[in-house]
Amino acid sequence: MEMASQGVKPVTLELGGKSPLIIFEDSEVENAVRGALMANFLSQGQVCSNGTRVFVQRDILPEFVEEVVKRTQAIKIGDPLSESTRMGALVSRPHLEKVLSFVDQAKKEGATVLCGGEPFVPSDPKLRGGYYMTPCVLGNCTDEMTCVKEEIFGPVMSVLSFETEEEVLQRANDTTLGLAAGVFTRDVKRAHRVVEHLQAGSCFINNYNITPVEVPFGGFKMSGIGRENGQVTIEYYSQLKTVFVEMGDVDSLF
């Protein structure tokens, strides 16, 4: 933005997120688990809109955690060109080390590693130099932890519990970022009520990380300005010209 200002050039910025995924007790747990996995482990967790702060209402927390851990442990890691692979390598060695350091920091701050969070060496000799890790689920997380406050950009899910709608809305919005957010509930009225108050540019109800090219995508707050995709994007790549055409005589005051 600073560089563009020197030439008075417009910019759009998508600057990442630390998005909340809210799962209410009346959710279809199977779909909520699927949504949480899509919200955290798609593309090895290297997705800016990922819902890495997973807020689960307390009554269904044990059931949700048990199932999400089981599914996470079953994710096949390996060659991304193989049909059966569900997770490949991270983008670089420094980034892998950075993601693993977030897991170590989470443990120091009191989070529990429920599964994963370790370097992984595939059995295929051709892949042994790759930057792999096991997908990680962190339990006993609190809002003050580094893993909950900072964007990790890797396969690390932080699970938090909540009691009431009002409480979780306040906590979900307690961030400088606002790229995306998600809500799982059978109560459609509640879903729309909650989404109305979530400070995020892209909100998902009973799904996550659905990004058709026709739908605008972008953030609130420090997650950026402008939008990608959809018809609105054309406005950022064009200039509006106004043309007046007089078909009659000029009505002059002089």
Catalytic machinery residues: 14, 48
Q: What's the 3-state SS for 83-125? A: CCCCECCCCCHHHHHHHHHHHHHHHHCCCEEEECCCECCCCCH
Please tell me whether residue 224 adopts helix, strand or coil conformation. strand
User: Which letter does DSSP use for residue 233 in this model?
Assistant: G
Q: Kindly report the length of the chain.
A: 254
Residue 159 is classified by DSSP as E
Neighbours of 154 (CB within 10 A): 25
d(CA 184, CA 217): 20
